[in-house]
Structure 1
Amino acid sequence: MNHVFQETEPLSNPITYWHVQSKHKNLPYHILVSVPKVEPPIAGFPVIYVLDGNAFFYTVKEQVRLQSTRPDRTKIPPSIVVGIGYPNDQDFEHKRRFYDFTFLTKENLPPHPKGMDWPETGGAEYFLSFIENELKTFISQKYPVDQNQQSIFGHSLGGLLALEILYSRPNCFQTYLASSPSIWWNDRNILKRNSSFSAFLPSLNSKIGLFLSVGALERDHMIHDAKVLYDQLTSITHPYFKVGFYNAGEENHLSVVPTILSRALRFIEQKHK
Structure 2
Amino acid sequence: MTSLAFDLPQKDGRACAVRVAVPPGLMPADGWPVAYVLDLKQFEAMCADPLGLPGLLVGLGPAVPEDRRWDYVPAAWGASGRVANGTDDAAPGLRSGAARWLRILDRVRARVAGDWRLDPRRQVLCGHSLGALFALYVLTHRPRAFEGYVLSSPSVWWGDRYAARLLRRRRAWLCARGLPALGMRLSVGEYEQGLAPEERGAGLTDDERARRLGMRQARAMVDGMRELAGVLAACPGLRLESVVLPGRTHRTAPLDALMPGWRWLLAGA
Q: TM-score, normalised by structure 2?
A: 0.79
Seen in structure 2, the aligned counterparts of structure 1 residues 108 and 44 have a Cα distance that, compared at 3 Å, is closer
Distance 1:106 1:86 in 2: 18
Tell me the number of residue pairs that the alignment of Structure 1 and Structure 2 aligns: 236
Shift of 1:85: 3.1
Shift of 1:262: 4.4
Seen in structure 2, the aligned counterparts of structure 1 residues 83 and 107 have a Cα distance that, compared at 3 Å, is closer
CA-to-aligned-CA distance 1:18-76 (integer Å, 9 cap, x gap) = 12213x424312211111221111210011111111x111111232xx425xxxxxxxx
Distance 2:3 2:58 in 1: 10
Identity of aligned residues (%): 25
User: Among 133, 153, 173, which residue is 2:146 paired with?
Assistant: 173
Distance 1:170 1:144 in 2: 22
Match of 1:145 in 2: 118
User: Among 20, 25, 43, which residue is 2:30 paired with?
Assistant: 43
Query: Is the contact made by 1:17 and 1:32 (CA closer than 8 Å) also made in structure 2?
Result: yes
> After TM superposition, what 4+ stretches of structure 1 lie above 4 angstroms from structure 2?
105-111
Point out the more displaced range, 254-263 or 117-126. Answer: 117-126
Query: Is the contact made by 2:188 and 2:243 (CA closer than 8 Å) also made in structure 1?
Result: yes
Query: Is the contact made by 2:61 and 2:68 (CA closer than 8 Å) also made in structure 1?
Result: no
User: Among 67, 73, 82, which residue is 2:58 paired with?
Assistant: 82
The secondary structure found in structure 2 opposite 1:85 is strand
Distance 1:204 1:59 in 2: 32
Match of 2:250 in 1: 253
Aligned residue type for 1:104: A
The secondary structure found in structure 1 opposite 2:26 is coil
Q: TM-score, normalised by structure 1?
A: 0.78
Distance 2:7 2:222 in 1: 36
Q: Where in structure 2 are the equivalents of 1:177-192 lying within 5 Å?
A: 177-192=150-165
User: Among 36, 44, 69, which residue is 1:58 paired with?
Assistant: 44
Provide the alpha-carbon RMSD of the alignment. Answer: 2.5
Query: Is the contact made by 2:62 and 2:68 (CA closer than 8 Å) also made in structure 1?
Result: no
Aligned residue type for 1:34: A
Tell me, yes or no, if structure 1 residue 32 matches structure 2 residue 8: no
Unaligned runs of 5+ in 1: 1-12, 69-76, 112-116
Tell me, yes or no, if structure 1 residue 200 matches structure 2 residue 200: no
Shift of 1:170: 0.3
Seen in structure 2, the aligned counterparts of structure 1 residues 110 and 126 have a Cα distance that, compared at 3 Å, is closer
Query: Is the contact made by 1:102 and 1:121 (CA closer than 8 Å) also made in structure 2?
Result: no
Seen in structure 2, the aligned counterparts of structure 1 residues 26 and 242 have a Cα distance that, compared at 3 Å, is farther
Shift of 1:242: 1.4
Distance 1:223 1:34 in 2: 32
Distance 1:31 1:106 in 2: 25
Distance 2:249 2:95 in 1: 26
Q: Where in structure 2 are the equivalents of 1:71-110 lying within 5 Å?
A: 78-87=54-63, 93-94=65-66, 96-105=67-76
Query: Is the contact made by 1:98 and 1:121 (CA closer than 8 Å) also made in structure 2?
Result: no
Query: Is the contact made by 2:54 and 2:263 (CA closer than 8 Å) also made in structure 1?
Result: no
Q: Where in structure 2 are the equivalents of 1:103-142 lying within 5 Å?
A: 103-105=74-76, 119=90, 120-132=94-106, 134-142=107-115
The secondary structure found in structure 2 opposite 1:67 is coil
Shift of 1:110: 5.3
Q: Which has the higher helix share?
A: 2
Match of 1:20 in 2: 8
Distance 1:84 1:106 in 2: 22
